[in-house]
Structure formats: structure tokens, C-alpha cells
Amino acid sequence: MLPSALLLASFASFAPFAPYTYAFSIPPLPHLNFLGIADAQKHQQPLHDTLDAWIQQEERIALDKLLANVSPGGRNVEGQGVAPGTVVASPSQAGPDYWYQWVRDAAITMNTLVDVYAEDTSSPLGGKLSSILDAYTSLQQMIQHTSNPSGTFDDLSGLGEPKFEIDGTSFTGSWGRPQRDGPALRALTLIHYLHEYNASHPTLWTSSRADDFFAPFYEASMPPTSVIKADLEYVSHYWNQSGFDLWEEVEGLHFFTLMVSARSLREGSQLARAFGDLGAADWYTLQAGYIENLLSKFWNKQKGHLVETLWSKRSGLDCGLLLGSLHALPADGSDDDAVYPPWSDKILASLLALTRDQRDRFPINSSPWSSSDDEEVDADEEEPFEGTGLGRYPEDTYNGYSTTHHGNPWFLCTSSAAEVLYRTASHISTSANLIISPTSMPFYTSLLASSSLDVNEGAYGPSDALFHSIIERLGAVGDQFLAVVRRHVDAEGSMSEQFDKETGFMTGARDLTWSYGAFLQAVRARKVMKSL
Ligand code: NOJ
Ligand code: NOJ
């Protein structure tokens, strides 16, 4: 059934926004085609190149290497029985075996590809990406209906299954399941894709093709017949049940999972409304509100930071806090209704605490300023906030192969810190307003520790020197995090999952798809910041 003309207006108003506008976009190198980075990656990047030059080159390499792990078309997956629409987590099939499709990794990767698609929907790359996204949608519909150890489609319990075989069949080995972030992330990605597709095909909504086009994505019918509706039903009915965290290890209620759940229901509610599915729209909004309420419990006042899992023995410091904040941003770039956006006091306080922990924990993070043995200074008070290699969480014992050792810094976590800082800089500069509260005071103090400015609580605007220094430092420290990424990639610009905390060499699953995606997202946020 086509939505009524009345609702068209609401879809039209939610459709054509351009999430981010760039002052410049990187023209493709003439010798590169869609997958062809081969020439550029053969020689090592000269070390004296500026970070800007490296980022520009690495952006192309990361996209190429990410696409290599995506079917159809990816060179690491072609001819190996990988179902079209699949994202393999890594081409590594042993030691460790990441030759699967994780629902989370796939959704996050496809969301990155939606951003790339939106940059130029009518280019050859745009066309290719749109067919990849269509294949992804069909495959997800298929795997939603595939019975698996988490359950079935009938009561939707099967949607909590975290990973599938590369041909789309169920994975039956023992695993930390269910994981409830997958359906939320998938809904967010597909809603984002619908927005972008609709924006670039403005006549589609009213055309006779509309029914056919939208049916796999959203239909009001119950039981669900479309991917997004099934995911929203899953999230809205299961969010208050415990499940495994994004790292697949602990059972409970998790910040990352709940953040993306709430956002998926907020976006889903708007979508449902556009399709005349008003009862569902209200239901999703109601549940989103409950989740946001629960999220307030993740702030631990004594500790002075957020915690990733409620009632856990762990400290709670976790890269999942950063990822939860980033992946729960409204797709339209509006900031108003985000819970714990990257620039919020509580995320910044948590980032500071996590960074300090990881700086001291990993030998490769030692830098000249931390080597001085000035006992009388309270290190935390005096030391500036600087970019450093970040891992998943302090207590981590997974070294990329087994959990009997120690954790290491991860590429995707290090990139996510950069993205938080770039987005914070953009937010402060566009809102022309910076409020330093007791909660964010330690963050801003250590951010500016290397300057001569005094940081005091209060409100600041473009007429204050402090306002500009803070924006400048946010960008500079974001760049330090990306400089850490740069230091640990190999000569071809490849990224695995982790880099060794002592030697700095890459370790864990090679060519981890998510590592490339997280880097691309940070670079995207950096471009927005630079365009302001
Ligand atoms: C382990 C990570 O902890 C998890 O988040 C991820 O989904 C899988 N590896 C696959 O990349
Ligand atoms: C009934 C509504 O009609 C449906 O569309 C909505 O999503 C469910 N309630 C919630 O499960």
C-alpha cells in the first residue's frame, strides 16, 4: 500500500537532508578504479609526509581494503562461496578464524558505505555501492528468517544471533549469544540508506515503483514482512533483556547496545510514521524513551565516568562508550535529541579516564612527558590529554588469538577517539557555545594543559580566546590519535585488529573490515571539522 499524500510530506521532510556537507571532496586518483588501489599501495609512504597527505592516501587505501572484504566484488571474497551482500569480518580463516559475517560488523561497515554512496550517488562507485547495499538488504532478510541457536523468526528471537557463516547459513558452534545490538545497527544502516536513496531519487516516493522498492525495507504489516520492521519489533520487545556485549564476552545490559537501540527506535518511529504505521511509531517512541531513561543509570558519579555494563565487576571504562556515542548520533546530523553525544560532558570525562588508563597500561604509549619521575606532581592533574593507542577496556585479556594473555590497543578504538574529538570540535564551533561544567572541567583542563590559558567553569563563545583554543586542541589531539594509527599500519597501509602493546606491530585478525571503517568515519568527521 502506498502511503497517503499527507504522509508524503513527512517523508519528504525527513528525506532530503544532506547529513554532512563537505567543503571539498577528494577527487579519485586518475589511475584508480573502484577496487584498484594496487599501484598506490605497493610503495611505502615516506615518513616525512604530512599527516594530511597520509590521511588522504590512507583514506583511499582503507576504502579499497574494506571493499575487498565485501561481496559482491571484493577481491578477498570472490569465488569462495561468500553470499552476495556479505561483509566478512576479516579474510583470516585461521589463527584467528574471522571468516564469518557478524551482524554488527556488517551493519557498521555498510553504514560507512552508505556515507560513501551519499557523496556521489550517480557515480560508478555510487552505483556499485547501491547494488552492494541492495544485496545486503536481501541477504539480511534471508538471515533474519534463518533459524539459529539464538532462536527463530516466529518470535523474532533468532534476530539476536551475532554471526553467520559466509554463505548465510547459521553458525552452530558455541558463542556468546544473543547479542542484541545487531538488529538495532542493521535498522540504523538501512534507514540511513533509505534516506540517502530517497534523497537522490526524489520522484521514487510517488512513482508506481515505490511499493516494490520499499517493500523489502519497510512495510507496516505484522508479523513483519520487511527487514527494518522486523528489527524494530525485535529491539522494541527485547531491549530490556540481558544479552552479550559488543565484545561478545559479558552478559548484562550494555551502554553500546542500549544507545544504538534507542537511536534505532527514534529513527524507526519517524520512518513508521512516514509509512502511515502510526501505532508502531508511537510504540517505538515510547520504548526509546524508556531506554533513554535506563541509560542515565550508566553514569557512575563516584567513578566520574560512564560504565559499559551495569552491575559489572569491570571498571566500566570501555571503548564501547565511545562507539555507543558515535553510532547513536542522529543520521541527519542534527544534535538536539542525542543522548550522550560525543561532545557531552560525560562522554568526554569517560574518554579522558579511558585514555589515561590505556596510556599507562601499554608500554608503546609511553611518551617523553610520561617518563619524568616527578613524584610530587599528581600525574593526572598535570599531564596533558594526548592521543594514544586505545584498546577495548582495561581488563581485556584477548590478544587477537586467545584470551589467556593481555589486551592490546585496537585500531578501531584509537580511530573512534579521534572521531569523538573531531565531532566535538565541530559541534562547539557550529553551536558557538561551550559550557565547561564540573563534569567536563578535568577534560578541558588537561586538553589545555600545554597552553598558558586558565580553564574555568562557565560559558564561552567565539569572543573568548579559550573557545578557539579548545577547538584547536580538539582537532590537534584528534590528529594525534590518527598519528598513532599511522604509526602502526604496515607499509601497504593495512590494518589488522590490534597492535602489540610492546612491539607496536600489528596483531590479531588481518585486514579487519571494521578497522578500515572506523578510520574512514574518523576521517569523514575530520573533513567536516576542517570545512567549518
Ligand atoms: C571480536 C570483537 O570483540 C567483536 O566486537 C567483533 O564483532 C568480532 N571480533 C568480529 O570482528
Ligand atoms: C501493534 C502495532 O500495530 C504494531 O505495528 C506495533 O509495531 C506493535 N504493536 C508493537 O509490537
Residue 245 appears among annotated catalytic residues: yes
Look at residue 367 in the predicted model and tell me its pLDDT: 56
Q: Residue 175: pLDDT above 60?
A: yes
Look at residue 48 in the predicted model and tell me its pLDDT: 61
pLDDT band for position 337 (cuts 50, 70, 90):
confident
Of 353, 325, 330, 323, which Cα lies nearest the Cα of 340?
325
Other beta carbons within 10 angstroms of residue 439's beta carbon come to 17
- Cα–Cα distances in Å, from 399 out to 100, 277, 364, 407, 509? 19, 47, 15, 5, 10
Ligand 2 centroid distance, CA of 191 (Å) = 18
pLDDT above 90 coverage of the chain, percent: 85
Q: Convert the pLDDT of each residue in 415-461 to its tens digit.
A: 999 999 999 999 999 999 999 999 999 999 999 998 889 999 999 99
Helix (H) or strand (E) holding 305: strand 305-306
Mean pLDDT of 303-311: 98
Q: Residue 19: pLDDT above 60?
A: no
- C-alpha R_g of the chain: 22
Ligand 2 centroid distance, CA of 238 (Å) = 14
Q: Residue 381: pLDDT above 70?
A: no
Report which protein residue has its CA nearest ligand 1's atom 5.
247
Q: Convert the pLDDT of each residue in 465-510 to its tens digit.
A: 999 999 999 999 999 999 999 999 999 999 999 999 999 999 999 9
Name 518's Cβ contacts closer than 8 Å, sequence gap at least 6.
Answer: 411, 412, 413, 415, 416, 419
d(CA 478, CA 105): 24
Q: Residue 143: pLDDT above 70?
A: yes
Residue among 245, 308, 419, 500 flagged as catalytic:
245
Look at residue 46 in the predicted model and tell me its pLDDT: 56
Look at residue 332 in the predicted model and tell me its pLDDT: 77
d(CA 19, CA 118): 9
d(CA 523, CA 516): 11
Ligand 1 centroid distance, CA of 374 (Å) = 40
Residue 248 appears among annotated catalytic residues: yes
> Is the model more confident about 275 or about 405?
275
